[in-house]
Amino acid sequence: MTLPDFDRITTDRLPEPEVLFSLCQWMGLAPEFTSLLMEALPALQADPAVAERFPRDCHHYRTCSDYEKFRPTEAEALSFYYAFVHFASLPTMRNQWLARGIPETQIQITAGEFDRWLHRYREQHGVWGFDLINWSSVYAQGRLAPLGRLGFEVIPFPAFCHLPEKTGTTPLLQAGDPVISVHIPAKGALTPADCDHAFALAREFFPRYFPEHNYKAFICVSWMMDRQLALYLPPESNLIHFQNRFQPAVVDNANDDSFWSFIFNIPKRPANLTDMPRDTRLRRIMLEHIEKGNAWQIAAGYIPR
Ligand SMILES: CC(C)(COP(=O)(O)OP(=O)(O)OC[C@H]1O[C@@H](n2cnc3c(N)ncnc32)[C@H](O)[C@@H]1OP(=O)(O)O)[C@@H](O)C(=O)NCCC(=O)NCCS
C-alpha cells in the first residue's frame, strides 16, 4: 500500500483532506469512519479558535504526563477535534517504533485501534464521537502494543497496587518495577486460546523491541480481577479462565466505576437498580450481588515473568 505523506501530518495545523484520507487508509479505518472524519474536517479548518489551540494541544498531548490531561466536552467529542490531535502524534510514534525495528504492519494495527474508540463513544452516547483522548495518548506515546486479542502496555508497577503480604518475604513487585499491563479490548469473546496466543506474542515482542524494559511480571488492573466474580461464574467461563491466569493483588481505594462503564455503558452506579437491563448472566449477577448488600471493586492480578 502507498504510505501517507507523514511529513504533511504535523502538529502545526490540521491535515489537508487528501493527507487525512491516506492516513485513514493506512490505519485501516472502515470507510464509514473515514467519511466521518473527512466530513468533520472542513468545520474544524474553518474555525480560527481551532487553528490557534491545535499546536498547543498537540504539544500538551505528547508531553504532559498527567493521565487526565484533557477533559473533552460533548461538543469537542462530536466535532472529532481530539481525533486530529491524536493523528498529529502518529508520525512521531511511528518513527520511534521504526527505530526499534517494529514492523510497519504492527504500527498500522496499533494506530488502527482508533476505530474501537469511536464504537465505544457510540455505545455510551448513541452517536459517533471521540473523547478517549487521554487513553489514546498511551498509544501516541508508543507504550501500548495490541498483540492478538489483548493489549500490552509498558509501565512501572503502580504505587496504588500491592501484592498480598507474606510474612518474612519481600513481595515480587514493588512500586516502580518494570511490568507489562494487560488490557482487554471489547472485541468479542475472550477465548482462552486467543489469550494464550496473545501472551505468546507479548513474550516475544517485548524482549525483542523493548529490551530495556526488563519486565518482572504481567499485571492486570480491572473489574475482571474481582475474585467475587468466581462466586457466580463457572471456572470454564472466559472471564474466570482469564482471571485465573493471574495471582491476586490489591488496589488501594478501589471503587466500582468500571463495572458500570464496561458492563452497562454508564459512568457510575445509578441510584435505582430496578430498571437496569438483566439480559446477560454478568449483568444479572452484578445486580444480584449488590441487591444482597455486597459491593464490587476493581482489583489487580499478576503473572510473574
Ligand atoms: C472481557 C469480555 C470480552 C468477556 O466477555 P466473554 O468472553 O463473553 O465472557 P464470558 O463468556 O465469561 O461471559 C459470561 C457471561 O457474562 C456476559 N458478559 C461478559 N462480558 C460482559 C459485558 N462486558 N457486559 C455485559 N455482559 C457481559 C456474557 O454475555 C455471558 O453471559 P451470557 O451467558 O448470558 O451470554 C467482555 O466483558 C468485554 O468485551 N468487556 C469490555 C472490555 C473490558 O471490560 N475490558 C476491561 C477493562 S478494565
Q: What residue owns the CA closest to ligand 1's atom 7?
A: 189
DSSP assignment letter at 144: E
Alpha-carbon gap, residue 38 to 116, rounded angstroms: 18
**Secondary structure tally for the chain: helices H, strands E:** 12, 7
- Return the number of other C-beta atoms located less than 10 Å from residue 110's C-beta: 23
Which domains are delineated in the chain?
Answer: 1-142 (no CATH), 143-305 (3.40.630.120)
Q: Which three cell numbers stand for residue 227?
A: 475474585
pTM of the full predicted structure?
0.94
**SS3 state of residue 131:** coil
| CB distance 239 to ligand 1 below 6 Å | yes
The list of the chain residues with pLDDT below 70 reads none
Which of 221, 262, 287 should be mutated for ligand 1, with most atoms under 8 A from CB?
A: 262
Cα torsion angle, 196, 202, 207, 213, sign: negative
DSSP assignment letter at 158: P
Cα angle: 251, vertex 253, 258; to 5 degrees: 75
For 287-298, the pLDDT digits (tens) are: 999 999 999 999
For 5-50, the pLDDT digits (tens) are: 999 999 999 999 999 999 999 999 999 999 999 999 999 999 999 9
Q: How far is the first Cα of the chain from the last one, in angstroms, to the nearest whole number?
A: 37
Which of 187, 241, 281 should be mutated for ligand 1, with most atoms under 8 A from CB?
A: 281
Alpha-carbon gap, residue 258 to 20, rounded angstroms: 33
Share of the chain above pLDDT 90, in %: 95
| CB distance 244 to ligand 1 below 6 Å | no
| CB distance 122 to ligand 1 below 6 Å | no
Q: What residue owns the CA closest to ligand 1's atom 30?
A: 281
Question: Is the backbone of residue 212 left (phi > 0), alpha (psi -120 to 50) or beta?
Answer: alpha
Q: Residue 294 class from Cβ within 10 Å (0-12 exposed, 13-18 middle, 19+ buried)?
A: exposed
Output the pLDDT for position 170. 85
